[in-house]
Amino acid sequence: MTTVAFLGTGTMGAPMVRNLLANGFAVRAWNRTRARAEELTADGATVAESPADAARGADLLVTMLLDADATVEAGRAAAARLPAGTPWLQMATVGLDGLSKVADVAGDLTLVDAPVLGTRGPAVQGTLTVLAAGAEHVRDRAQPVFDAVGGRTLWLGTDAAHGDGTRLKLATNNWVLALTNAVGESIALADSLGVDPRRFLEAIEGGAVDSPYAHIKGSAILNGDFTPAFTVDGARKDAGLIAEAADGLHLDVAEAVRARFARAAEAGHGDKDMAAAYFASFPRNQA
């Protein structure tokens, strides 16, 4: 049985661990808030006291933490306990500068840059898309993990430190974050014009501009259900990573999206689903 040290069992990490367990992996799970990891014991996971403890006896390391700083701190501690050549599958969104820091602390481990495309729903269903870059010789060991948590894997390059997976993730996140805000703005505008916002979703349904994602986020807004699949705070972080990676490009929509997530977070919606960027459409006293 392959043992995975899994660091980060939050909104995305917990269902990923469950899918690994369901596919025959042994998992030693660690989370900064221990209670989040303990929820997985009923599924068969072993809760580790620390990242270093999680790494004890592990065949692979997976990180799914909030940001680069958390990944570097926890990953460094785990890496110190693992043999040279152990695959480190870095599956969170940490940005290009963050990935460079991760590569520095990986040392003799074999790093795989493998951020995932998808939110909590696909994580639960095991249908995430894995955007992977790593050496040819490690792919046979990494692929079973990716198959357990994802519906497909796109291998994009052989140099994990160059971050082809992270680069594509930033581009796709730019699209997702923009679409999230476009839906919220359109619903707010329809309502302000005296139109039932549900008619907006009805109008685009089945046409060339339709999107299943628009209906998911639009329905969340209309029903007032902001149970997080991916939080406003997380989206705000990712919007910042996109801005850092732009390198002189004029990404006007991306800058506006970043500002909207910031306003929504400052109005107290940071821990809600990113559809709550909808509230950035209103004056602060109404958000």
How does residue 239 score in pLDDT terms, banded at 50, 70 and 90? Answer: very high
CATH classification for the domain delimited by 3-162, as one of 3.40.1550.20, 3.65.10.10, 3.40.50.720, 3.30.2290.10: 3.40.50.720
Query: How far, in Å, CA of 61 to CA of 87, rounded?
Result: 6
CATH 1.10.1040.10 placement within the chain:
168-281
pLDDT at 284: 76
- CATH class of the region 168-281: mainly alpha
Structure tokens at 102: 């991760």
pLDDT digits (tens, 9 = 90+) for 135-168: 999 999 999 999 999 999 999 999 999 999 999 9
Mean predicted confidence (pLDDT) in 5-29: 97
Treating both helix axes as pointing N-terminal to C-terminal, what angle do 197-204 and 164-192 enclose, rounded to 10 degrees?
Answer: 130
pLDDT digits (tens, 9 = 90+) for 247-280: 889 999 999 999 999 999 999 999 999 999 999 9
pLDDT digits (tens, 9 = 90+) for 68-123: 999 999 999 999 999 999 999 999 999 999 999 999 999 999 999 999 999 999 99
CB 39 within 8 A of CB 16: no
Question: Could you tell me the pTM of the whole model?
Answer: 0.94
Q: How far is CA 9 from the centre of its chain?
A: 12
